Amino acid sequence: MIGLLVAAELLTEQYTVYGLVTAPGSLPGASLAGWFSTVMIEMALFLLLFLLLLFPDGRLPSRRWRPVRWAILAAMAGSVAGQMQAGRISAGLTDVLDRTGHSYPNPVGIFPRHGWFSGLLAVAYGLVLIAMVASVASVFARRRGATTERRKQAACAVAAAASGRPASAGVRPGTS
């Protein structure tokens, strides 16, 4: 799911770049596609946090971790609401618009740029930081009381994350 969201983000971002920069006005809904691209990459980030929280067996480490799950959901909602702020959009995963000096008005910008909404977003982004730290901490909390097999799974996941690629990336089809 995370890979599909990243692929969809890249597709919609390139659609936006083509429709707004390369051939302006040639594609319908290019600015709306750009807004979706920023939302999709945020969703991929929060799914990654859930993956860390639920690693390796798909369950929370204990009932005490339920507030972390709700914090991730609240942070995700706040982050998506932040994308509904009035103003201009110039960023994406590849930052093509920013490098070329182009931006466009947010097509779903319904919340004010300053004032009460800025304070709400500050709280939401603080919650994002807390959720990120807690998700990483959940892996270490599981390791503490884990069996040898679970510890090896965690070590493999940490090694894969440190190398920046999946553990199976070195295996080619047709070999063992």
Please report where in the chains the tokens 């440190």 appear, as a residue. 162
Alpha-carbon distance values, 35 to 16, 39, 92 (Å): 9, 7, 9
Q: In this structure, what are the phi and psi dihedrals at residue 74, rounded to the nearest 5 degrees? A: -65, -40
pTM of the model: 0.77
The per-residue pLDDT string of the chain (176 residues; one tens digit each, 9 = 90 and over) reads: 888 988 999 999 999 999 988 999 899 999 999 999 989 988 999 998 998 888 878 888 889 999 999 999 999 999 999 999 888 888 777 888 888 888 889 999 898 888 888 888 899 999 999 999 998 888 888 877 778 887 887 777 777 767 765 544 444 444 44
pLDDT of 171 reads 42
| CA separation for the pair 123, 129 (Å, rounded) | 10
Is the previous residue joined to 56 through a cis bond, with omega within 30 degrees of 0? yes
